Amino acid sequence: MNKLFNINYSLYAGSLFVSIILFLCVFGPILAPHSLTEMLETQYTNGKVLAPPIQPFINDSYPLGTDKWGYDLMTMILYGIRFTVFVALAVTCIKMLLGTVMGLYAGMWKKTPSWVGAFENAWSYIPLFLILYFFMRPISFNSQLSSSTLIGYFIMIASVISIPSIVSTVRLKTAELNKSVYIEAANVLGARKNRLIWKHIFPQMKETLLVMFILEIVYVITIMGQLSLMNIFIGGTTVRFDPLIYLSVTKELSGLVGQARGNINGNTHILMTPLMVLLFTTISFSLLANGLKNRFQANYSRTPWIQTGQTQRIKPIRKQLNQKRKRLLPKGERLAFAFLVMVFIGAGVYVIATKDKDVGVKNDSKAYYDMHVEMDAKGVFHTTANIQIKNISDDNWEDITFYFIPNAFIKGHPYQSVKGYSTVQMNEIMINGDQATYSLDNDNLIISIPSSMQKKKKHQVKIEYAITIPNEGVRLSKEKENYYLAHWYPMLATYQNGKWNKEDYDDGMETFHTDFANFEVTYKIPEGYSLISSSDKDPRIEESEGKIKVKKVRDFFIGIVKDMDIHETEANDGVKIRLFTKTDHQKNIKETLELARDALSFYQENIGKYPHKQLDIILDNGPFMEYSGVVTINPYIEDVYFYKNAIVHEIAHQYFYGVVANDQYHQAWVDEGMTEFATSMYFYAGKNQSRREAFRIPYNRIERIEAANPPIGRQYSNVSLDKVKNTGFIYGQPAIEMLKMMEDKYRLKGDDVKEVSMQFLSSYYEHFKYKEVDTKEFIRFTKDYFSVPTGYFNKWLDTSEH
């Protein structure tokens, strides 16, 4: 029982609590469930109205509740606590450093001038809060200065006016130690002032200074709280009129308390929640200071058996001279401290590793493809696909669904845009080493999982098949002697919301939806052919067999071509651009290559890093289409403007499709609309064309809709492909509406609409890189970026479920 009383509870509790506070300071914004600008709007869900202010512990999305405007209290606290603690630390560091040095040297004076003592006494009676108030009041309200500048002013002023008290305390302690016998002995031996201070006096004071340092942090936080009662918040105060309210710009804890003072009689959680966190912060540092004080007093109690008026309940720790150190694990306080550091680091690593888990739409099916494809002299492609599939959902799958698009083009298919047809021969399908039962209808390949294997989370699927390619097809196509293998392999569908997200193939817009995957492909092709692929490192020209691979792509394209000219150039960051073309068209190859290089370099500079080491452009008959690392362009069209625009459009798709994913059946506008906007911005911001000229194609799409007879009417852009009235709603409408939004809101982010537009695209790209985006995610991101309500998008997006 006595051992329990001898434990330094203040030290353990203070260390734990301060560690938690520091952890929140470092990782708070990552842990925050919402952004600072995200606001809860009134909702009607499951027969209940959800409207701010929400009380704590009522709604899972807002665990600490919201204020009366709908802003999440937990988010504001997690963003603001770092300002409270780090500002207090900065002020304390400055004043302790300068005050300690000045106090040490002042304490060595043989005679202290009388005016020094008088000044110290007088200064101790002046409330430092008043000095800060008169300095900060003129510059804090609706200030033109930035938050960082205002914080800098506060740190500087608070540090300077606090130094005299530190100097006084250190001076008196130094003067007392200077009278000690060992100091006199050092003086006799010839020690100079600097040596006396730093080798003899300072070591005797370092524990006292450490305790003083921690207590000064509490004192600074107290001053910040006093200022908040006068509506002076650290980082600036936003004043709004009618009604008159004061808001903290930085959401610092004392500022949150100060701005919530009016809620003391109603909605008290808005005041009490940040107040309790502020009190917890001050108490934590106070406990740590008290615990350290107890430890240091115990260590320096040389004769605990003699009654000195203080009973030391904590056992002192003394060094044993001339004793060899035993290499044992730390114990007691050192073990606790080591454990705390390990937990801090481990938790930090976990938070960073999982920080993006809530970004984007989730997919619970993952795949890795290991394939071998061999083309014979008759143009038959024999393929063995070994696919490792991982189920990361909580469900037990009964089957696995693939897109097998070659089967959609077999003889008798309904697609008029495909002149030929394909043949498909399934040789063998196995799952986890056993013969599989499957069905193949249109492009739906469904493989049943035996009941004994349904609890497995990993499956190995092997599919052996042979196909021929339809002449003049769509994407998957044979163009004279060239073969273009788009979507030629079994593509794993996405598993979302407890079911396979798979729709039937259509030859219009893309109807497939796949996740990012890694590919490894071995190939063998007839002599005289060359292989082009999504790989970053394609084989040499006319190399008939080899191995290619690529990571984190949404599809794997292969082109097998003969007798095509090759032209090369280089974009930014050493990205190689290769152009493959015939010579039977009138398009200028040099201009085409220069346009591709200029467009890709523009996007690299203004949006972000290109995801591959090379970009292949194929000029041949067929659709304008994007694939991972490859684009196909039809050079036989007569419209030169559309030809150039399409090149830029497909390159932009390398960002908005290739890296930022979406469901191309249910959310087609997300990549097509964003790409259309990025394409027009290249001509608007990159080539300085007029607004109307740069956005000519999206404007033309909308004008054709308006001029249609019979009238088409209006339609939201976020509808599934089976409901689309006109593709202009998918391509043109989002591009024009985003341009209007940029022109309306750009002053919130900068001075130039073009720069802000490209900054928006860059931020969007970086935020959703290798994630899937839907309308909900787009609205959530854009609301936060431009501080707009959900209703802002009602003209062109259906927001009823968002």
3-class DSSP string for 311-341 = CCCCCCCCCCCCCCCCCCCCCCHHHHHHHHH
Six-digit token pair at 186?
């050092």
Cβ atoms 642, 634 nearer than 8 A? no
Helices and strands: H and E segment counts in the chain = 20, 26
Omega of the bond leading into 406 within 30 degrees of 0 (cis) = no
Residue 315 vs residue 624, higher pLDDT = 624
User: What mean pLDDT comes out for the span 354-380?
Assistant: 91
Choose the weakest-confidence range: 130-139, 267-276, 352-361, 687-696.
Answer: 352-361
DSSP annotation of 504 reads -
**Residue that is written with structure tokens 């537009």 in the block:** 757
Cα separation, 344 vs 350, whole angstroms: 10
- At residue 734, the pLDDT reads 97
> What are the Cα distances from residue 363, in Å, to 392, 513, 632, 671, 773?
8, 11, 29, 18, 11
Q: pLDDT tens, 79-108?
A: 999 999 999 999 999 999 999 999 989 888
Bridge partners, residue 661, by sequence: 772
- Alpha helices for 260-406 (secondary structure H): 269-299, 333-353
Query: pLDDT value at position 281?
Result: 95
pLDDT band (50, 70, 90) for residue 354: confident
Alpha-carbon span 341 to 14, nearest angstrom:
14
At 189 the pLDDT is 80
- State yes or no: pLDDT of 782 exceeds 90: yes
pLDDT of residue 34: 87
| Span 40-67, pLDDT tens digits | 887 777 777 888 888 999 888 899 999 9
The 8-class DSSP code of residue 200 comes to I
pLDDT at res. 798: 93
Instruction: Show the beta-strand stretches assigned E in 582-644.
Output: 614-619, 625-627, 630-633
DSSP type of residue 471: B
- Provide the pLDDT for residue 186: 79
pLDDT tens for residues 117-170? Answer: 888 888 888 888 899 999 999 999 999 999 999 999 999 999 999 999 999 988
Amino acid at 641: Y
Contact 689, 662 (CB under 8 A): no
CA distances, 782 to each of 38, 606, 779 (Å): 10, 18, 5
Size of the chain, expressed as the number of residues it contains: 802
Question: What DSSP line would sit under 538-588, residue for residue?
Answer: PPPTT--EEEEEEEEES---EEEE-S-EEEEEE-GGG-EEEEEE-SSS---
Q: How far apart are CA 668 and CA 154, in angstroms?
A: 51
| pLDDT band per the 50, 70, 90 thresholds, residue 201 | confident
Share of the chain residues as helix, strand and coil, in percent rounded to the nearest 5? 45, 20, 35
Kindly give the residue spans of alpha helices, DSSP state H, lying in 355-504: none
Long-range residue pairs from 116-121, CB within 8 A, at least 24 positions apart, any chain:
119/164, 120/164, 120/165, 120/167, 120/168
pLDDT value at residue 206: 87
Run of H or E including 484: strand 482-485
The answer to whether 292 and 213 are in contact (CB under 8 A) is no
Reply yes or no on whether the pLDDT at 674 is more than 90.
yes
Structure tokens at 776: 């909900």
Tokens describing residue 521:
């492909």
pLDDT tens digits along 706-764: 999 899 999 999 999 999 999 999 999 999 999 999 999 999 899 999 999 999 999 99
Predicted confidence at residue 470, as pLDDT, reads 95
Rg, the chain, Cα only? 35
Res 640 pLDDT > 80: yes
H/E stretch holding 228: helix 202-229
Tokens of 72: 């999440």
Contact 389, 373 (CB under 8 A): no
The answer to which of 244-258, 307-321, 359-373, 695-709 has the lowest mean pLDDT is 307-321
Question: Is the pLDDT score of 449 beyond 60?
Answer: yes
Cβ-count burial of 522 within 10 angstroms (0-12 exposed, 13-18 middle, 19+ buried)? middle
- Between 788 and 401, the higher pLDDT residue: 401
Give the separation between CA 344 and CA 351, rounded to whole angstroms: 11
pLDDT tens digits, 450-459: 998 888 999 9
pLDDT of 5 reads: 60
Is residue 507 within 8 Å of 418, Cβ to Cβ? yes
**How many other CB atoms are found less than 10 A from the CB of residue 59?**
14
Helix (H) / strand (E) containing 459: strand 458-467
Q: What integer pLDDT is reported at residue 306 of this predicted model? A: 41
Residue with tokens 């189920």: 391
Handedness of CA 598, 599, 602, 603 (dihedral sign): negative
Query: For the chain, what is the mean pLDDT?
Result: 90
Q: Which residue(s) pair with 265 in the sheet?
A: none
For residues 557-567, give the mean pLDDT. Answer: 94
Cβ neighbours of residue 146 under 8 Å, at least 6 residues apart?
none
Q: Enumerate residues 6+ apart whose C-beta is below 8 A from 794.
A: none
Q: Inform me whether the pLDDT recorded for 565 exceeds 80.
A: yes
**Dihedral of alpha carbons 99, 100, 105, 110, sign:** positive
With helix as H, strand as E and coil as C, how does 58-87 read? CECCECCCECCCCEEHHHHHHHHHHHHHHH
Give the closest residue to 627 by CA, choosing from 646, 651, 610, 603.
651
Q: Quick one: average pLDDT of 316-340?
A: 64
Least confidently predicted of 53-62, 169-178, 256-265, 322-331? 322-331
